[in-house]
Amino acid sequence: MNLDDTIVAIATPAGRGGIGVVRLAGAESKVIAGRMLHLAGGRALEAGRALFGELLEIESGERIDEVVATWFAAPHSYTTDEIVEISCHGSPVVLRRVVEMAMAQGARLAEPGEFTQRAFLHGRLDLTQAEAVRDLIDSQTVYQAKVAARQLKGSLSHALLPVKEKLVALIARLEAGIDFAEDDVAVMAAEEILAAMEEVRATLRGLEASFAFGKVVHEGLTLAIVGRPNVGKSSLFNQLVERERAIVTALPGTTRDLVIETVALGGIPVRIVDTAGIREALEREREGERERERLDEAEHIGIRKSMEALADADLVLVVLDAGAGLTGVDRELLADVANRAAIVVYNKMDLNQADLGERGELPAAAHLPVVRTSALTGEGIAELRAEILRTVRGSAAQDGGAMLTNLRQQGQVQASLAALSAAASSVQNAVPHEMVLLDLYNGLRALDELTGATTADDILNLIFSTFCIGK
Ligand code: GDP
């Protein structure tokens, strides 16, 4: 991929729309666009101004469309190249014609993501910001968009910057102690080095902890609703989904297949899986082979899917019938989820005010949060939503702060932490500083993968500026 090429692409989605935008980036973009534009009043393109005009066939001068053209002069553009955006009416043939004409004039069709890649290669965005552009475009909820916009503005890089500065400062002092020993640079004491490292590690640990929530914001989560037949799983599902989607019936165990619906809960995409039918089908399976054979093929697939959904779920709602008291199956279910993220729901509170919890009947799951609901009246549903969000957020993420949102970012922070912990044990074991530095550089390199490289010059500059050694 040549960075000097002028590239062109339709920037708006495929299909018809009110407006469609073609974007040109590269040194020739202004000249190429100029040949197909006739701007009102015979004006030329002006930097940072949207100008009205006509789109013309370059060869014949025939009018194709009325357009608005905007020139973003280098380096104040998305990619830092010269960029021209032509907003046409959103007809796919018109947009394609603009691209064809641009290509006939020497532009090349842009590769997917090439505009953002250029912005990165030109240092306009770091990798976390480039990832944020993709996240922003992919966002399914406004909350996701806001998180991505924060990262696009550099929230993660800003959080990492002071960490990196501290790490570089530590590296510089250790390097100085080795290289310029004769210049009276004091060798750092082990406690001092460890304290400096601990500061860096604490911040990184906080960031690493943010990944649990960042991942949920980014990818959403799966919530499985389990419980005995007829406790109100489908009704709760409908309340959460706010639509009459699953079929509700008074006969026990009629929802055989998985019903899945994705909703935005507090801006987080939540895949809600109604696993009604798991239990009784399981019980039938336990009754023996002959009985199992009677389960038809489709039902088998349904059960398998239910079990997979339950195993994959990030969060489980265990629904109990508040009026009925705990049965053996309830106890079994509670024991199953005791060690995972789960919420106990006492449903049908409108029928019975009895409190199962007060009777101390949650043996294995006494630590789980409990919410009382009536799927019939809607009572307690808001509380249930709030509890789901609370459980998902955990204590890790503070709203508005920087967080890791993908595996790549988590991997780099973990790699950095691992290197720093190796460095710390080296210091404790009085290993020579040359060796400690290797680990510190590894820790720094992992962070560089997130925010961009620290060059040897950066470290040298710091050595010389802070230690006044360059006599
Ligand atoms: P599922 O088998 O667990 O999915 O249970 P359903 O959602 O199909 O509900 C079974 C029956 O209980 C239906 O007749 C519902 O209308 C009723 N039901 C569900 N939730 C409540 C509730 O909170 N209060 C009352 N009174 N009835 C409910």
- One DSSP character per residue, 132-199 reads HHHHHHH-SSHHHHHHHHHHHTTHHHHHHHHHHHHHHHHHHHHHHHHHTGGGTPPPPPHHHHHHHHHH
User: What are the backbone angles phi and psi of residue 63, rounded to the nearest 5°?
Assistant: -75, 135
Contacts of 428-436 with CB under 8 Å at 24 or more apart are: 428/190, 428/194, 430/190, 433/174, 433/177, 433/178, 433/187, 434/178, 436/174, 436/193
CA of 333 to the centre of ligand 1 (A): 19
Confidence of residue 21 (pLDDT cuts 50, 70, 90): very high
**Dihedral sign (CA 429, 435, 441, 443):** negative
Return the SS3 of 15: coil
Bigger pLDDT: 258 vs 193: 193
What's at 120, amino acid-wise? F
What pLDDT is stored for residue 127 in this prediction? 84
Cβ of 227 below 6 Å from ligand 1:
yes
**164 has pLDDT over 90:** yes
**How do strand 342-347 and strand 370-372 relate by DSSP bridges?**
parallel
CA of 236 to the centre of ligand 1 (A): 8
pTM score of the predicted model: 0.71
What's at 338, amino acid-wise? A
- Look at ligand 1, atom 19, and give the residue with the nearest C-alpha: 232
Instruction: Write out pLDDT tens, residues 50-81.
Output: 999 999 999 999 999 999 999 999 999 999 99
Cβ of 151 below 6 Å from ligand 1:
no
Work out the average pLDDT over 332-345.
86
Work out the average pLDDT over 140-145.
86
Instruction: Write out pLDDT tens, residues 217-253.
Output: 888 888 999 888 888 988 998 898 875 445 454 444 4
Q: Which of 225, 226, 228, 230 to mutate to test the pocket of ligand 1 (most atoms within 8 A of CB)?
A: 230
Cβ of 324 below 6 Å from ligand 1:
no
Nearest atom, ligand 1, residue 254 CA: 2
User: What are the backbone angles phi and psi of residue 451, rounded to the nearest 5°?
Assistant: -115, -5
What pLDDT is stored for residue 179 in this prediction? 75
What pLDDT is stored for residue 275 in this prediction? 73
Token digits for 432?
Answer: 């020579």
What pLDDT is stored for residue 361 in this prediction? 58
Cβ of 347 below 6 Å from ligand 1:
yes
DSSP string, 316-333: EEEEEETTT---HHHHHH
What pLDDT is stored for residue 229 in this prediction? 80
Nearest atom, ligand 1, residue 229 CA: 2
Work out the average pLDDT over 26-30.
97
Nearest atom, ligand 1, residue 227 CA: 3
What pLDDT is stored for residue 424 in this prediction? 96
Q: Which of 225, 234, 235 to mutate to test the pocket of ligand 1 (most atoms within 8 A of CB)?
A: 235
User: What are the backbone angles phi and psi of residue 345, rounded to the nearest 5°?
Assistant: -115, 120
**463 has pLDDT over 70:** no
- Look at ligand 1, atom 12, and give the residue with the nearest C-alpha: 232
Instruction: Write out pLDDT tens, residues 72-118.
Output: 999 999 999 999 999 999 999 999 999 999 999 999 999 888 898 89
Cβ of 250 below 6 Å from ligand 1:
yes
Nearest atom, ligand 1, residue 249 CA: 8
CA of 301 to the centre of ligand 1 (A): 25
What pLDDT is stored for residue 468 in this prediction? 42
Please answer whether residues 147 and 409 qualify as being in contact, where contact means their C-beta atoms are separated by less than 8 angstroms: no
The proportion of the chain whose per-residue pLDDT surpasses 90, expressed as a percent, equals: 43
